[in-house]
Amino acid sequence: MSPIHRTRIKICGLTREADVDAAVAAGADAIGFVLYPKSPRHVSPQRAAELARRLPAFVTPVLLLVNASADEVQAACAAVPQAVLQFHGDETPAECAVSGHAFIRAARIPTGPAGAGFDLLKYAEDFSAAQAILLDAHVEGYGGAGQSFDWTAFPWSHPQLNASSRLVLSGGLTPANVTDGIRLVRPWAVDVSSGVEALGADGVSTVKGVKDPQRLHAFVAAVRAADALLS
């Protein structure tokens, strides 16, 4: 029997100690803190540092930045020096690399058929210095807003993409669909935010920045089930 490939799991948009603890208990490999002031899940670098101190060894903090100035990037690195940076705006390869920190680059993929002509191969080449390319849906503003792109749009087996060691699947993932996403893309990791948030009073909308422990555990269980199916 072939060994099981363990898809890594990043939980993003955490704002509370209880949610950090719940995500770690569920089995998260990385925890994302949003430093973009316009996001409803925004935390300051100092607050991110407080939350990151709760993380045990081998659970990685990730700081999400959107078109931040060089000074803001340096302040983020100083606050959480062990973090990986995630650039989610219009940053150039040089702007991503200037801090000297390990970084992830988000690719904002149009939600139309076949990725609406997005050249992911060129994007991956342009950002070859990134530790990973995070695949998110391109919507108004920044972030996937809980939407998915066409998971059949790209040649995931292409060596230039190297999906199983370099791609992070994000955008609209939930416990109900993450198994399909992993089956189609075979990514190194998956990234979820709204898909594991607590539901509001209407039972449909989510409370942004507040995670649901049951949904966290269900998401991780679905990822592990996908790994078992593909082993």
77 is catalytic: no
Find how far residue 208's CA is from the centre of its chain: 16
In the prediction, which pLDDT does 117 show?
Answer: 79
Annotated active-site residue in 12, 96, 191, 212: 12
- Select from 78, 118, 70 the least CA-distant residue to 96: 70
- Select from 32, 27, 29 the least CA-distant residue to 13: 32
- Strand, helix or coil for residue 149: coil
Judge whether residue 20 has pLDDT over 80: yes
Distance CA 11, CA 61 (A): 10
pLDDT classification of 97: cutoffs 50, 70, 90 = very high
136 is catalytic: yes
Q: Where are the domains of the chain?
A: 8-230
The hierarchical CATH code for the domain 8-230 is 3.20.20.70
- Strand, helix or coil for residue 84: strand
pTM of the model as a whole = 0.93
Judge whether residue 1 has pLDDT over 50: no
Annotated active-site residue in 19, 29, 136, 212: 136
| Structure-model confidence comparison of residues 46 and 148, the more confident one | 46
Judge whether residue 206 has pLDDT over 50: yes
Token look-up 């898809």 returns 7
Per-residue model confidence as pLDDT tens digits over 51-81: 999 999 999 999 999 999 999 999 999 999 9
Angle of helix 178-185 versus helix 213-230 axis, rounded to 10: 30
Distance CA 186, CA 180 (A): 10
